[in-house]
Amino acid sequence: MSVDAAALQHAIERLRAASSICVLSGAGMSAESGIATFRDALSGLWARFDPAQLASPEGFRADPSLVWRWYAERRAAVRAAQPNAGHHALAAFAKRHPGRLTLVSQNVDDLHQRAGNVDTIRLHGDMLEDQWLDACPRAMSCDTAWAAPTVPPRCEACGNLVRPGVVWFGEALPFVALQAAEQAARSCQAMLVVGTSGVVWPAAGLAAQARRAGAFVIIVNPDASDIDGDAQLHLPDTAARLLPLLLDSL
């Protein structure tokens, strides 16, 4: 796949002129680090499952061990992965231009953070974090680290289960993170949308919010997405190839 040189130059000029840039990343951002994109995540033995079913409170309650094992495999893949050139280009830009870039991610891996974007706004949580499935019936503030090492870990006192610290289908996004993401989308002059299919809301609505507020919206994705209509420019190539070309000279 190659991107038209004029389109690339147009995107670079738009980013150069933007005093505030909002970046929205999705699973495609981590694909070149070897992390399966969300809708490709179900390969191999997981191929017979629906990701939306596994990544839901109902799916977890129906088969806690199955879902916990799916996340354990994904956690191991993330820990074995390294940030790619796209992650590093974003972190280097943020370091060169303090306060100019706001990074909003749908991803539950820690690759942006390990590359240096430690203040990434995490819309869907952190897969490497644990949390309790339910409120403690004894109103204790037990630490999930004390849970019995069963699959999934369980509180020995009340039976509460440990679950991954991610936002599941049917759950609300963290209010503060969503507010910050919407504020960044509405106030930026340019938005870079990298590696998302645009099928999951409210994250998928951020590009339209930026466009309505007057931002120049650029999509980096080798394929079409549900939000292509919100962008003025679609660069059909990958994050690790395009982000250094777009940002390193700025």
Q: Which residues are catalytic?
A: 124
Q: Which is nearer to ligand APR, 94 or 109 (CB)?
A: 109
Q: Which stretch binds ligand APR (CB under 6 A): 34-42, 69-77, 94-102, 132-140?
A: 34-42
The residue type of 185 is A
Q: Cβ(111)–Cβ(205) under 8 Å?
A: no
List the beta bridge partners of residue 162. 132
59 vs 45, 48, 65, 69, 201, CA distance in Å?
17, 14, 10, 13, 20
Q: Which is nearer to ligand APR, 50 or 143 (CB)?
A: 50
Structure tokens at 74: 């994904």
What angle in degrees, to the nearest 10, is found between the helix axes of 239-247 and 85-96?
20
Tell me the closest approach of the beta carbon of residue 137 to ligand APR, in angstroms: 29
Residues 99-118 that bind ligand APR (CB under 6 A): 106
Rule CB under 6 A: choose which of 1, 76, 148, 199 binds ligand APR. Answer: 199
Q: Cβ(53)–Cβ(224) under 8 Å?
A: no
Rule CB under 6 A: choose which of 3, 18, 33, 38 binds ligand APR. Answer: 38
Q: Does 238 bind ligand APR (CB under 6 A)?
A: yes
Q: Which of 128, 104, 111 is nearest to 178 (CA)?
A: 104
Q: Which stretch binds ligand APR (CB under 6 A): 8-16, 65-73, 194-202, 210-218?
A: 194-202
Binding-site ranges for ligand APR (CB under 6 A)? 26-28, 31-32, 37-39, 106, 124, 194-197, 199-200, 220-223, 225, 238-239
